[in-house]
Structure 1
Amino acid sequence: MTHDPSRIPSRTPSRLGRGAADGRARARVALVLLLTSPVVAFGCKGDDADEGESEGADADTSGSGDGDGDGDGDGDAGTDTSGEDPETAILTHRFGTRELAPFEETEPCVQWTLDNEAPIYVQAVTLSNLGYFHHSNWFVVPEELYAGDDGYYKCSDRGFNELGAATAGTVLFAQSTQSFVEEQRTGAGAVIKIPPRHKVVSDLHMLNVGPAAIETDLFMTLELIHPKDVEVVLTPLRTSYLDLDIPANAVSKFTGVCEDFGARYEDSTGTPLDMKLHYVLPHYHYLGNHFDLSFTGGPLDGVSVFTVDGFDGEANGGVFDPPLDLTGVEGLRYTCGYDNWRDVNVGWGIGDQEMCVMLALVDTKVMMDLSVTGGTVAVGENDGVLEFEGPCGILTVPKNPAQSMPTSAEQDEPFNVPESGDESIPPVPECSDHDPGVAPDLEPTLANVFGAVFQPSCMFNACHGVSGQAAGLNLQAVDLLAELLDHEVVGNPGASLVEPGDPDASWLYQVLAKCEPQTGEGETVGHMPRNSPVLLDDRSVALVREWIAAGANP
């Protein structure tokens, strides 16, 4: 069955399948449950879009969902379990604390040995952290690869590289930029396969932009299903735009044009494109404000199937359930947009540079990597947006033979669950109120509050900076003190954001110090930072408390 583009519901300004919209909502489930109610005081941009996602959510995005599953035809089809709840199990692992010095940026690796004697099939992955994890990419590889103890290590010491990890095993998960809690859940029976005696590895990008040392932590949860419930084993597909030269003081878009996408697939497999799209996750940094994925040729010609606008430090992955059938597609186009308010051009990289990457999980016969490494040209201007395009090179890699469907023997055996998880650790850390007995480790000045609290925790994820002034609050204002003293609190009318000399009467302190702050009318709202499962560390909150108590001086 081919996909009917007329049945992809229209959004403003994008068109997005029902499954993708549901996926973005599911990615926020753990966070929403923790926060109890929507944040109205300081919500990041994107709140309006969330409300609008319900429009057209009941529209059907028909797709066959009957791909070859293992890509090579050697596996057995999933057992028909219609009407039955799948058999599931949970593995949760804590990677341990990690310290970052003031202004430290580092890219360590980390691993978790699963001790799985039999294949396991992952229906969902949840990653949670206590902040300062800018982004991370996760793989499963044979135990003997990158040998060493579990925990954090220097990637180069073990020869880690992403392409080697992806081809030796497969991609497990990718973290949205600066997300605290993120769930990647694909459609029922669509799984990531972890072969026997494999382990989880990742390269992490960690960043502390503040003047105080910090300590953070990292957790991962795998939701497994019984082999009899597996319908398809998913394969990664990646796009990237390396040839970025983002103009200063301008809004721009860069589009990777992959005209021979279908032809390269056919060259590699000997068959026309036979692929179904299950999951999409874009990645850009704080200047990024747009992502779009579209296709040319076939029933999806010219259709934008996945679009994200803005940057809010939250999970931005989308699930297509049922999957999107790409039969007849000839070309693929992916676009990243940027609002570069800086006075210098920005290129590809970490730190204050940008990226444009997409991870997709697909039902396919080969792994594909699409990237623009040169040849970018300006193609015009549209409504003040400078537009650039570049041709993408396409690398095809045979699918790992271990990434096959479950055998009949696996389907008939009892559920095999490794004992490498820790049942005492919740998938998402639990929140505790601030301890008012803790003293700050920095002098309580506005400059230190800005550097140690506002900059790394309130502005860096674009909630309250120049490019995103949620609830009208700009913590990068030239006169920051006036901004804090004069700001009208949206979520708690009549309250003072900062009441000099009285932290308890200051809404800023309340949303930082309590897991479930209450308005003057008794309504419970979410704490800050908005997308964090826990509060900031006690020393940071104490710094704000003592600055207010001392009179909130300049």
Structure 2
Amino acid sequence: MIPLLSACAGVEPSPPAACAPGEELYRGRCVHPAARYEPEERIDRDNVVAFGAPPTRLALPEPPRSGFRIIAPPRTLSPGEEVTFCLSWPFPALVNRTVHAARVYTTAGLHHSNVIAKPVNPAFGPNPYPDCHPGADDPFGALPAVIPDVLFASSTQVVGDETLVFPPGMGFTLDTSREIATSVHLLNASAEPEVVELAYDFFTMPLAERAEELVPFVMNVNDFLVPPRATRTVGATCSTFGGNIVSLMPHTHRYAEAFDVDVVRADGGGEARVYEGGAFDLESDIEVYRRAIALEEGDSLRYACRFKNTSGHALTFGLGDNEMCTLFGYMYPPEKQFAAFSARDGEPCMSFGIGAFR
């Protein structure tokens, strides 16, 4: 269980000399960063949306006092079983709608998940919660007419919890007329049946606290091939439209040896390494920059995934025993938002300034 507040009740304490590991000093008290804006008294009460049997293996703390929680139905996987599916939830009533932190809680078996929100599809009506209408969890299907909110994207195969906390004064604002849809990829890598439990918390802050509005961006290599027993680097250099990068998260699978990101300046001012990821592990890969990475229009982001294929089959882009080379993150201002992809490794990267359609 993750402690939220460590300030004592009663008389306002003097600022501590040092905070405990995992906490920060914020406005005179030590807090977990996700609880930076948590009020003393709960303001969101009916803020847990859950379907199916309650979790029994996850030790969940109290839900956010300002924010909400969604809980997935537990799912049992056979040994070696792999499944992908969509789950959906409606938004509960919220006082504040600006998310400054998010957290996933999971048992073993979650390969990864992406939580988005999109408008109710007028052709289908609301999703049949917790199931989904076709395409509900597709973030790209209606671009640029519909730009989805991305609430959270988890690192590959984390176990326990993973938290994303933006720097003070930064967050993205929810449109609660939309509905939540999550693409879930489960993989039971063990030799025994596995019950997978999954929940998410979203911590909100008053709009008056928000100095910068964040939006997501994504870069992807859609197709590549790594021959059996070979080591190969896959990647792309994609132009941007300026803006400021606040967080980065790579997405690869178990054959990844490294993931590097560089800023390449359009004015010939050189290159700067901004992210270095090592071999695949079960830890969080999210990197948050308290001092944002400033980009000028035309600057590029170059990212490279190095794969060591120890298998007897070729690796291609995909699920199962294959790989992905994706870079995700958050940035500001919203009008600089972009999505970029290479149709195949080695081909030019195409960048789309979707922020212009906001």
Q: TM-score range by the shorter chain?
A: 0.7 to 0.9
Closer/same/farther in 2, CA of residues 133 and 363 from structure 1, 3 Å limit: same
Q: Distance in 1 between matches of 2:147 and 2:235?
A: 30
SS at match of 2:80: coil
Deviation at 1:245, TM superposition (A): 0.6
Q: Distance in 2 between matches of 1:165 and 1:117?
A: 27
Q: Which residue of 2 aligns with 1:289?
A: 257
Q: Distance in 2 between matches of 1:165 and 1:360?
A: 20
1:141 aligns with 2:118: yes
Q: Which residue of 2 aligns with 1:182?
A: 162
Residue 126 (structure 1) aligned to one of 85, 103, 106: 103
Q: How does 1:309-320 map to 2 (within 5 A)?
A: 309-320=278-289
Q: Which residue of 1 aligns with 2:214?
A: 234
Deviation at 1:328, TM superposition (A): 5.9
SS at match of 1:163: coil
Q: Which residue of 1 aligns with 2:54?
A: none
229-238 or 201-210, larger mean C-alpha shift: 201-210
Closer/same/farther in 2, CA of residues 30 and 86 from structure 1, 3 Å limit: closer
TM-score w.r.t. length of structure 2: 0.75
Deviation at 1:354, TM superposition (A): 0.4
Task: Judge conservation of contact 2:96–2:206 (CA < 8 Å) in 1.
Answer: no
Task: Judge conservation of contact 1:139–1:173 (CA < 8 Å) in 2.
Answer: yes
SS at match of 2:173: strand
Deviation at 1:183, TM superposition (A): 0.4
After superposition, the C-alpha distances for 1:251-305 in whole angstroms (9 at most, x for unaligned) are: 22112022xx14xx3xxxxxxx3x0010100000000111111122258631111
**Structure with more of its chain in helix, by fraction:** 1
Residue 194 (structure 1) aligned to one of 143, 161, 174: 174
Residue 342 (structure 2) aligned to one of 372, 379, 387: 372
Higher relative contact order (CA 8 A, sep 6+): 1
Q: Distance in 2 between matches of 1:160 and 1:94?
A: 17
Q: Which residue of 2 aligns with 1:249?
A: 229
Number of residue pairs aligned between Structure 1 and Structure 2: 297
TM-score w.r.t. length of structure 1: 0.49
Closer/same/farther in 2, CA of residues 296 and 323 from structure 1, 3 Å limit: same
Task: Judge conservation of contact 1:137–1:204 (CA < 8 Å) in 2.
Answer: yes
Residue 350 (structure 2) aligned to one of 357, 380, 393: 393
Q: Which residue of 2 aligns with 1:302?
A: 271
Report the RMSD for the aligned CA atoms in angstroms: 2.8
After superposition, the C-alpha distances for 1:415-473 in whole angstroms (9 at most, x for unaligned) are: xxxxxxxxxxxxxxxxxxxxxxxxxxxxxxxxxxxxxxxxxxxxxxxxxxxxxxxxxxx
Runs of at least 5 residues in structure 2 that lack an aligned partner in the other structure: 4-25, 30-35, 40-65
Q: Distance in 1 between matches of 2:162 and 2:142?
A: 22
Q: Distance in 1 between matches of 2:269 and 2:171?
A: 25
Task: Judge conservation of contact 2:336–2:353 (CA < 8 Å) in 1.
Answer: yes
Q: How does 1:511-526 map to 2 (within 5 A)?
A: none
After superposition, the C-alpha distances for 1:73-114 in whole angstroms (9 at most, x for unaligned) are: xxxxxxxx9889745524233222112234322111112222
Closer/same/farther in 2, CA of residues 127 and 371 from structure 1, 3 Å limit: same
Q: Which residue of 1 aligns with 2:86?
A: 109
Q: How does 1:331-480 map to 2 (within 5 A)?
A: 331-364=300-333, 365-374=335-344, 376=345, 389-398=346-355, 401=358
Q: Distance in 2 between matches of 1:239 and 1:231?
A: 26
Q: Distance in 2 between matches of 1:372 and 1:244?
A: 10
Deviation at 1:30, TM superposition (A): 5.2
Q: Which residue of 1 aligns with 2:46?
A: none
